[in-house]
Amino acid sequence: MRILVLEDEARLSRSLQTGLEEEGYRVDVAHDGVEGEALARSGVYDALIVDWRLPLREGPEVIARLRADGFATPVLMLTARVGVEDRVAGLDAGADDYLGKPFAFDEMLARLRALLRRAAPRSLRLHLTPGNLVLDEAQHLATLAAEPLGLRPKEFALLVLLARHPGQIVRRERMVDLVWGDTLVSPNTLEVTVSGVRSRLLNAARAQRIDAPEIETVRGVGYRLHATPA
């Protein structure tokens, strides 16, 4: 699972990143609210750990802005402000849980696990003409106009990544990082995987007698899926 930590205190952010990575999570860190919100909007994180006091944009505002735009990613808020009114403000902003500083790492980890267990399975739907592309991440099932695509695991992960950025270029380096992680891949692995997704989309579209969604190659940069999110 991938976790985003929004924490400007360097020592604490390093400690959280190291501890979470030792527990098997993949962790990214942002040191201000603007950068953190931008990363959170990528939609690739399973949970956010957000400090209240952040430069440029404070934690509650970041969370409230994300919730207003429909982001349902679980959020654990960290803060030295432990008064009842502060806890209420943080939860009202959209945090799912609240942990006062200083805290024990084991308690933070337990609260994070609880949030992840409660998180609803995600399903992503894109409007296409005339059919819909539906990506059910809980079942690892992709369908086009109700026709199963039969994607392999890496193909599914790659299509989900593109679908979370409809109409936007996703850079090659980011695709490799998010789909394969630290695994070494050959230079043409990405191209082969994209080709496989295109082929499966085309086969499903032909079965339904509709046009296949376009995955555009932006030479030297990355790829872009032309579709509109529901």
Answer yes or no: pTM beyond 0.85.
Answer: no
Mean pLDDT score of the chain, rounded to an integer? Answer: 85
Buried b (16+ CB within 10 A) or exposed e, 109-130: eebbeebeeeeeeeebebebee
pLDDT for res 112: 94
How many domains, in total, are found in the chain? Answer: 2
61 and 134 housed in the same domain:
no
Tokens at residue 71, please? 């982001």
56 and 75 housed in the same domain:
yes
95 and 132 housed in the same domain:
no
Tokens at residue 28, please? 């990214």
* CATH code, 25: 3.40.50.2300
114 and 157 housed in the same domain:
no
Higher pLDDT, 190 or 84: 190
> Residue 103 and residue 118: Cα distance in Å, rounded?
22
> Residue 45 and residue 48: Cα distance in Å, rounded?
7
Q: Output 96-104 pairs: Cβ under 8 A, ≥24 positions apart.
A: 103/78
Closest CA to 65 of 50, 80, 78: 50
pLDDT for res 212: 84
Burial class (CB in 10 A: 0-12, 13-18, 19+), 46: middle
Structural domain including 14 reads 2-118
**Range of weakest confidence among 16-25, 129-138, 179-188, 210-219:** 129-138
* CATH code, 165: 1.10.10.10
